[in-house]
Structure 1
Amino acid sequence: MAIEAFLSTTAQRAYLGTIAIQAIVVLVLVGLVFSWVDAWVDFSRTIYKTIPCYLALFAFGEQVSPSSGYPYKPLTRPSNRIFEILMAVDGLRARNIIQLAGIAIFHGCLIAFAAAQVHETKQALSMLGNCDYDGTRRSYIECSGAGTLFAKIRPLLITAPCVIAAAWLSLLWWTKVLFAEFGWAIFHIVGANPAMKTMYRWYQVIICLLKFDFFFFAGVTMQLLILVVSRNSAEFGITITAIPIVLVLLSFAAIAVQREIRWLMSVSLVLMLASETYLYKLVRFFTPPSEDTYQTTRITLALFTICAFLILFATFIVGLRCFGDFDKGLKPSKVHGQSLLPTPTAEKINLIGYNSEAKASGGSTGGAPLTSRISIE
């Protein structure tokens, strides 16, 4: 059995290609939706901000746009698309099947998020209800029947989750194939000891969770910046500053679990538990006086906040599990895992029941007993 090079197999190329292709398709669909709506509505009004929120999670960063009246007009560079592609490349390079499984779960969440946008966009645009376009600007924007703005963008909104779902089914299949392909790499990193393999799997789980923690925190923060935080307020600066701070804290947690630094891991676990109090934001989405602010983005924000809470809580639980595995001999595998792998495609295992001399003599070994031999070339 061989250790295959990065992207040298059909399964690896198909996995990454699936993510890349659906990323391009979905980004084009969402970009068209945003451009068509941007031409007709004022995004400075809270009720219309579901569209910028939708694209902001498919885009990277914001820029000031004096002409739109809305200071956080997203660029057309993918964010969760880039995040997902980088996670896939990292998982394939590290032969981390846990991370690939995490991407599959993450992809499932994207389906729910994209599907929710159909309802939220209709709620934002259809203030006059299910009426048809009657030739007036108001009916074109605020009705949802034939000939209206929503009728124009609805096929694109529906197509996006369908494309993501189709890609998800493909990813599930290729993840199954890669599970078998990557199993041999884990053997080289931690050996044949089942206990060590289990501990290493838990280590892979927490590293994966820490990466998703940052994405969901950034996703919630981005939506809050678009919706409620004034650009000139102190809260805006604090919220922006929180993103790199959280990134640093999560990086420290990753270093702590990899290097088995007990004091740093203890601090990280305490901070994770304290961060769970952020769930109070969920209450604000549904209670006065702030509920009107989140009228058309409540479902998306609630979905992201709940996911962020659950993933952070899972990270805390898995962190406790990994903390209990400190000083049990796994540290060298964590720190030098990839360097322990042999040169890709250079290793082969041959189970030989007869030695070469026996084969040359037609199976005779002069009466000496035959023994099984494992040859590693």
Structure 2
Amino acid sequence: MAVEPFLGTRAQRFFIATKAVAVLAIISLVFRLVAEHVDLNKPNYKTIPCYLALFVLAEIFELLMAFDALRLRNVIQLAGILMFHVALVVFAAIQVHETRAALVRTPNCDGSVNYVTCGGRGTLYRKVEHLLIVVPCVIAAAWFIMIFFVRALYYEFGWAIFRIVGANPAMKTMYQFYQVLICLLKFDFFAFTGVTIQLLIVVLSRNSAEFGLTIAAIPVVLMFLIGCGIAVKREIKWLMTFSLFLMLASETYCECQYVVSFGLIDDSLLCVPVYKLVRFYEPGSEEQYETTRATLTVFTIVSILLLLTTFGVGLRCFYDFEKGLYESKTSDTLLLQPKRVARSNNPGEKPNALGQPLEPRMSIE
């Protein structure tokens, strides 16, 4: 069966088309309406630019993931994009509450009393509330459309693993775990970047040392995730061992301090999700996270679950090293590229069933 070219089918093109810019346009409008009346540099209003930045990042990330999944004919990554889209619906719904917490100080008064801080009729919040509610509705509608095209792509790409690893069920299972791990590493980076953006915009002071260290964390974590991807693809045991160790260490503050004591990485450069989650609700620091606590909590819990899942799948992939999958992992991209039909020098000669020219026939005369 021939490999369809990248974006060469209707299902592929329509799947990309679902990544519409309508949501970004609505959120940008909310940002403009709020920016006209409040100082977004004030701590309690920073959740609005944070909301816009996260959605821009999410839409770009989802678009890149969609192109990557279609390029690699990766059905597992398509399923991951569907789950990511559900997470966007939840995040958009949470932002209705977060924006209300940022804007409304007196919920029972109307716009005649105070247009910005009141929550009744004729106020700024009531003006943007309808737009904020439309966002999760649009994303949810796009999700149902995506399901239809992912189903079509499943049948279109379903034979890709057979082309790479053959009919061996054990090899197929090992390759699927490898695909799952690569997909999880990509979502790990988004979850980490999402938490980092919120800390940079809403919480941290630009003059603090932690602000600079948090910015430095992005390329460090990116290199770590790339290193883990290279380790599982090339089956480099020492690098995979180090990657799994860092995943486990980053789950608790104590393990992160152990890493710091060896001078490997600063504790703020690693996710430390459990430690951060506790700080969101500690009496001494909860006020600092007031306007974005719900979003940060969701992102942090998702980060914890993603990291634990990545660690578990990583152990399984480590167990599968040197079991015959190396060649399939290092040549999978080439095997999935459409091949041009070779042409014969004889214009009257027809190709065989594989699209290749027939070998010259020997005459018995």
* Matched residue, 2:277: 282
Corresponding residue SS for 2:158: helix
> Structure 1's 229 and 240: CA in aligned 2 closer, same or farther, altered over 3 A?
same
243-252 or 125-134, larger mean C-alpha shift: 125-134
* Matched residue, 1:89: 67
Structure 2 stretches of 5 or more lacking a match? 253-271, 343-351, 356-365
Alpha-carbon distance in structure 1 between the residues aligned to 2:283 and 2:231: 42
Give the alignment of 1:289-308 within 5 angstroms. 289-308=284-303
Alpha-carbon distance in structure 2 between the residues aligned to 1:345 and 1:79: 37
Alpha-carbon distance in structure 2 between the residues aligned to 1:305 and 1:342: 38
Q: Is 1:103 the equivalent of 2:81?
A: yes
> Structure 1's 104 and 344: CA in aligned 2 closer, same or farther, altered over 3 A?
farther
Alpha-carbon distance in structure 1 between the residues aligned to 2:332 and 2:170: 16
How big is the shift at 1:176?
A: 1.7
Superimposed CA distance per residue, residues 272-293 of structure 1 (whole angstroms, 9 cap, x where no aligned partner): 1111121111111112111111
Q: Is the 8 A contact 2:227 2:243 kept in 1?
A: yes
Q: Is the 8 A contact 2:103 2:117 kept in 1?
A: yes
What is the aligned counterpart of 1:175 among 150, 160, 174?
A: 150
Alpha-carbon distance in structure 2 between the residues aligned to 1:106 and 1:339: 28
* Matched residue, 2:32: 35
Give the alignment of 1:95-244 within 5 angstroms. 95-134=73-112, 136=113, 139-244=114-219
Q: Is the 8 A contact 1:14 1:174 kept in 2?
A: yes
Alpha-carbon distance in structure 2 between the residues aligned to 1:159 and 1:2: 42
1:52 maps to amino acid: P
Q: Is the 8 A contact 1:3 1:184 kept in 2?
A: no
How big is the shift at 1:42?
A: 1.8
Aligned CA-pair RMSD: 1.6
Q: Is the 8 A contact 2:2 2:338 kept in 1?
A: no
How big is the shift at 1:179?
A: 1.2
Alpha-carbon distance in structure 1 between the residues aligned to 2:173 and 2:341: 27
* Matched residue, 1:17: 17
1:228 maps to amino acid: V
Corresponding residue SS for 2:282: coil
Q: Is 1:7 the equivalent of 2:7?
A: yes
* Matched residue, 1:258: 233
Alpha-carbon distance in structure 2 between the residues aligned to 1:162 and 1:130: 27
Superimposed CA distance per residue, residues 327-363 of structure 1 (whole angstroms, 9 cap, x where no aligned partner): 011111111102123635869xxxxxxxxxxxxxxxx
Q: Is the 8 A contact 1:214 1:246 kept in 2?
A: yes
Structure 1 stretches of 5 or more lacking a match? 59-77, 348-373
How big is the shift at 1:375?
A: 5.4
Alpha-carbon distance in structure 2 between the residues aligned to 1:116 and 1:343: 43
> Structure 1's 345 and 163: CA in aligned 2 closer, same or farther, altered over 3 A?
farther
Percent of pairs with identical residues: 59
Calculate the TM-score normalised by the size of structure 2: 0.86
